[in-house]
C-alpha cells in the first residue's frame, strides 16, 4: 500500500496497552502514531523497587524510539494530549494537532484521592517513575534529617503510613520493612530503628482483597512477620501533613503518607458522554470500540467492558491491557470491510501474584494457589520475562542477585533535579 493510501492510526499512551498495540501493528499497512508525554515506557510493577532503592529508574524504563528504531510505520511523538474532536477526527496536544482515521485511547489511570484535596496535597503517590524517584528521595531524606531532629519531633518522622492494601501497598510495605531490618542499621549505626513503624492501612477486611483467601491470609502473615502494622477495615478521612485521621476517630502522627488506595481514569476534553462510567473509565463494546463513537477505541485500564464473566468490568491489570491490545490489533488488520469477522475480546485469567519480600510471595493460578519461596521465585521469573530489553534484564538480574546474597544495594543516592529554564511553548505544529 502506498503512503497516500495508508490509514492513520493514532495511539494515545505508551503503557502496556498502547505499546503492545503499536508493536502488533508495526508491520501492518497502516501509519501508526504513538503519542505519550514521556519518551519512554515505564514498567509499573517494579516501581516500588525504585522507590525503595533496589533498582534504578533506567532499569524499568525503555526509550520508545529505541523500541521502534527499525520500524518505518511507527512514529513516536512526545506531547501531552489536551483534547480530541471525534466529529472532525482530530487530536489536540500541547505541541501539535493530528488527524486520525482510527483513534485508540490507552492513557491509563492516575491516583484517585476520592475528592480529598488535602490528601492530594500532602500524601505521596507512586504511579510513575518520577513519583517513585520522589518517594525514594523522601524516604532517604527522612533518615538523613532524623539524625539531627530533636527527639520530641522524631515520632511523626519515623512513622510511615501506606494507605491501600492492594499489590502496590503490600509490596511497598514489605520492601520498607526489609530496609528497616537489613539495610538502615548498617547505613545509620548511630540511630535506633526500633522506633521506625510501618503501617499498612486497608479499608476492606483483608490485604490483597482481589486475590484468594490463601493470598490474603499469607500476605498479612508475611507482613506482620516483617514487623508491619496492618490495619484493616480502616478508612482515612484526612491528612494535614502532620496527622493522618481515620473515620473511626483514630489518628497517627506522621510526616510520610504514601497513597496507594485507588485509581481513576485520566480524562480527556471531548470525551464526556454517556460512555464515561464510574472511575472515569470509558465504556466499550466487545471489540473495545467506545459505545456511541465511530473509529474511537479504548484499551487497558481506561477501558470498561462488561462481559458475562466480568459484569463489572475487567480488573485493571497489565495482562488484561496486553491481551486487549493484541485482540484489537488482529481486528484492525482484518480491516473495516471485514468487521463481521472481527473477534470479540474474551479475557482468560492466567492468575495474579504479589511479593511481600525475600522468599515471601503469594501466587493465584486458576487451579492452584501457593505461597512462600517457590511463589517468590515464580514472581521474579514472570516479571523478569516481561522486561523488554536484554540489557535491562541483565541489570535487574544482577541487582536482584546481589540483594539476595547480601541483603543490600548500592542505589541509595538522593537525586534532586533543578527546574529547567527552557520552554516548549513555541513548539507547536500540525501533523
pLDDT for 240 equals 95
Q: What are phi and psi of 48, to 5 degrees?
A: -65, -25
Q: Pick from 215, 175, 171, 117: which is nearest to 355 by CA? A: 171
pLDDT for 243 equals 96
CATH of the domain spanning 7-111+264-341, picked from 3.40.50.300, 3.50.50.60, 1.20.950.20, 3.10.25.10: 3.50.50.60
Question: Can you tell me the distance from the alpha carbon of 216 to that of 197, in angstroms, rounded to the nearest whole number?
Answer: 22
293 Rama sector, left if φ>0, alpha if ψ -120 to 50, beta otherwise: beta
Rounded to 10°, the helix 16-25/318-334 angle is: 30
Contact 96, 79 (CB under 8 A): yes
Q: How many residues does the chain have?
A: 431
C-alpha cell read off for 397: 538480574
Measured from the Cβ of residue 328, the count of other Cβ atoms closer than 10 Å reads 29
- Residue 285 makes CB contacts below 8 A (sequence gap 6+) with 291, 305
C-alpha pair distances (Å), 104 with each of 19, 63, 80 = 11, 21, 15
**Burial zone of 220 (CB within 10 Å; 0-12 exposed, 13-18 middle, 19+ buried):** buried
Question: Can you tell me the distance from the alpha carbon of 242 to that of 90, in angstroms, rounded to the nearest whole number?
Answer: 46
Question: Can you tell me the distance from the alpha carbon of 325 to that of 25, in angstroms, rounded to the nearest whole number?
Answer: 10
Q: Pick from 178, 191, 187, 181: which is nearest to 376 by CA? A: 178
pLDDT for 401 equals 83
Chain center to CA of 12 = 16
Average pLDDT per run of 10 along the chain, which is 431 residues long? 73 97 93 96 94 91 93 95 94 96 96 91 94 94 92 92 96 96 91 94 96 97 98 96 96 96 88 86 96 95 95 93 97 90 94 94 95 96 87 86 75 67 46 42
pLDDT for 429 equals 44
pLDDT for 338 equals 87
User: Domain 117-261 belongs to what topology?
Assistant: FAD/NAD(P)-binding domain (3.50.50)
Question: Can you tell me the distance from the alpha carbon of 133 to that of 139, in angstroms, rounded to the nearest whole number?
Answer: 10
* Rounded to 5°, angle at Cα 199 from 353 and 135: 75
* CATH 3.50.50.100 intervals, the chain: 117-261
* CATH 3.50.50.60 intervals, the chain: 7-111+264-341
Q: Pick from 111, 89, 113: which is nearest to 238 by CA? A: 113
Amino acid at each position: 500500500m502506498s503512503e497516500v493510501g495508508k490509514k492513520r492510526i493514532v495511539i494515545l499512551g505508551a503503557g502496556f496497552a498502547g505499546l503492545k498495540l503499536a508493536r502488533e501493528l508495526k508491520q501492518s499497512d497502516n501509519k501508526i502514531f504513538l503519542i505519550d508525554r514521556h519518551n519512554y515506557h515505564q514498567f509499573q510493577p517494579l516501581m516500588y523497587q525504585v522507590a525503595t532503592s533496589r533498582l534504578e529508574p533506567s532499569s524499568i524504563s525503555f526509550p520508545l524510539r529505541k523500541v521502534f528504531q527499525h520500524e518505518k510505520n511507527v512514529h513516536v511523538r512526545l506531547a501531552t494530549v489536551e483534547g480530541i474532536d471525534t466529529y472532525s477526527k482530530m487530536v489536540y496536544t500541547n505541541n501539535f494537532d493530528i488527524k486520525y482515521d482510527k483513534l485508540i485511547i490507552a492513557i491509563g489511570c492516575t491516583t484517585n484521592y476520592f475528592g480529598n484535596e488535602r490528601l492530594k496535597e500532602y500524601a505521596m503517590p507512586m504511579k510513575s517513575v518520577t513519583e517513585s524517584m520522589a518517594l525514594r528521595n523522601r524516604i532517604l531524606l527522612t533518615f538523613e534529617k532524623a539524625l539531627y531532629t530533636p527527639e520530641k519531633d522524631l515520632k511523626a518522622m519515623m512513622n510511615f503510613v501506606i494507605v491501600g492494601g492492594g499489590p502496590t501497598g503490600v509490596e511497598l510495605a514489605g520492601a520498607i520493612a526489609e530496609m528497616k531490618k537489613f539495610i538502615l542499621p548498617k547505613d545509620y549505626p548511630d540511630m535506633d530503628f526500633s522506633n521506625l513503624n510501618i503501617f499498612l492501612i486497608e479499608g476492606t477486611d483483608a490485604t490483597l482483597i482481589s486475590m484468594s483467601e490463601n493470598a490474603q491470609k499469607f500476605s498479612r502473615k508475611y507482613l506482620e512477620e516483617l514487623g508491619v502494622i496492618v490495619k484493616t477495615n480502616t478508612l482515612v478521612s484526612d491528612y494535614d501533613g502532620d496527622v493522618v485521621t481515620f473515620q473511626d476517630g483514630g489518628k497517627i502522627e506522621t510526616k510520610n503518607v504514601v497513597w496507594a488506595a485507588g485509581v481513576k481514569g485520566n480524562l480527556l476534553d471531548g470525551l464526556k458522554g454517556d460512555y464515561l462510567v464510574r472511575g472515569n473509565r470509558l465504556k466499550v463494546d466487545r471489540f473495545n470500540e467506545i459505545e456511541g463513537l465511530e473509529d474511537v477505541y479504548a484499551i487497558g485500564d481506561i477501558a470498561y467492558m462488561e462481559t458475562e464473566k466480568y459484569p463489572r468490568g475487567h480488573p485493571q491489570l497489565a495482562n488484561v491491557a496486553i491481551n486487549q491490545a493484541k485482540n484489537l490489533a488482529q481486528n484492525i488488520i482484518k480491516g473495516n470491510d471485514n468487521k463481521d469477522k472481527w473477534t470479540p475480546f474474551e479475557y482468560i485469567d492466567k492468575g495474579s501474584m504479589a511479593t511481600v519480600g525475600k522468599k515471601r510471595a503469594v501466587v493465584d493460578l486458576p487451579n492452584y494457589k501457593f505461597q512462600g519461596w517457590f511463589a517468590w521465585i515464580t514472581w521474579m521469573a514472570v516479571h523478569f520475562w516481561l522486561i523488554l530489553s536484554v540489557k535491562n534484564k541483565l541489570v535487574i538480574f544482577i541487582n536482584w542477585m546481589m540483594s539476595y546474597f547480601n541483603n543490600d544495594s548500592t542505589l541509595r543516592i538522593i537525586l534532586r533535579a533543578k527546574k529547567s529554564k527552557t520552554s516548549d511553548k513555541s513548539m507547536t505544529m500540525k501533523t
